[in-house]
Structure 1
Amino acid sequence: MRLAFVWQASSRAKGEGQLKRIIVHEEYCIGCRLCEVHCLVQHSQSHDIIKAFKVEQPRVMPRVTVEESGPLSFALQCRQCLEPSCLEACISGAMHRDERTGAVICDESLCVGCWMCIMVCPVGAIQRNLTGTRIASKCDLCYGADMPACVAHCPNEALTYEEISL
């Protein structure tokens, strides 16, 4: 039996009833953490792997985390819920659904660091940003890119980005 963790929402640009999903195929994940590396680089100022890790301070946090338990490993990131608890719990309006893509995004300039979103996230995909600012950090599906960096650079295709019809 194939078990896949499905992240919902993302791109509505191609028409109503169309969504893109990041699907995690944990049976192919080897725990290499390249998804974390490329997420960090994508969200860094330089978009350069060496500068992102060795020069830029404070270092950006990856918005995906590889979870491991025995032989099982998988990438944990925001599932872009259809009815997101984080959006409802956000007291400042920082968590919002992007009108163009349908993705749930955190506007860091509005985040007040109350961590309500972290407390209500059912999968633990929202983290405290450890760069010295009190803001929440979560997957934004590499906003503006055609494909999330974690998907584009997964060597085993344990992450796929697929369009589905509702």
Structure 2
Amino acid sequence: MRRIIINKDLCTGCKSCVIACMTRSCGEKHKFDSFIDVNKDKYFIDLQSIDTESRNHIELDGSGHPVPLTCRHCDEPECVLTCMSGAMSKDPETGIVSYDKEKCGSCYMCVMSCPYGILKPDDRTKQEIVKCDLCQGEEIPLCVYNCPSGALELQEEED
């Protein structure tokens, strides 16, 4: 299983992870076929667009230090346990917690139950949940790939 490990002490708050995720979101809407070159494509992101959303974010802790936040793909995800429609599910092989917008009833139980406050409704319709999918189909999640300080690291875990 793949997991993003966060070392908050290394985070500088540069938001490279957020921009990389926004680039992926933009790429999904435009159906890019290959790995997104964030260094090139980040300059074309419309940061004012309601359709350009990141699945991760950075917040400040109690002492004002930046902390990157992304889905933990929990072992026993509360979002999956509370989802009444089956829109949230955990793949037993990969460990990835996925969201199926076709099944979603927009009840926000997953949003309310996430102990990390990561899940949120989309900004445009408030009907779909915005959630990290570990950049399915990519060798490495873009947030990890573009983190210059090493605050985000991809680890392979055995069951």
- TM-score between both structures, scaled by the size of structure 1: 0.80
1:143 aligned residue:
136
For residue 119 of structure 2, the aligned residue among 117, 126, 134 is 126
- 1:10-159 mapped onto 2 (5 Å cutoff): 19-44=1-26, 45-46=29-30, 48-53=41-46, 58-69=50-61, 70-98=63-91, 101-159=94-152
For residue 22 of structure 1, give the secondary structure of its aligned residue in structure 2. strand
Please tell me the residue identity of whatever aligns with 1:102: G
- Give me the TM-score of the superposition, normalised by structure 2: 0.83
Separation (CA, whole Å) in 1 of partners of 2:148 and 2:100: 31
Q: Deviations along 1:95-124, whole A, 9 cap, x unmatched?
A: 012355220011122222110001111111
Offset of residue 88 of structure 1 = 1.2
Task: Report percent identity of matched pairs.
Answer: 34
Check conservation: 2:10, 2:149, Cα contact below 8 A: yes
The amino acid that maps onto 1:125 is I
Whichever residue aligns with residue 16 of structure 2, its letter is L
Distance 1:73 1:54 in 2: 21
The number of equivalent residue pairs is: 147
> Which structure 1 segments of 5+ residues have no match?
1-18
Tell me the CA shift for residue 132 of structure 1: 2.1
Which residues of 2 match residues 2-17 of structure 1 at below 5 A?
A: none
User: Per-residue deviation at 1:60?
Assistant: 2.5
Change (3 A) 1:54 1:82: closer
Q: CA RMSD in A?
A: 1.9
Structure having the higher helix fraction is 2
Q: Structure 1 residue 143: deviation in Å?
A: 1.3
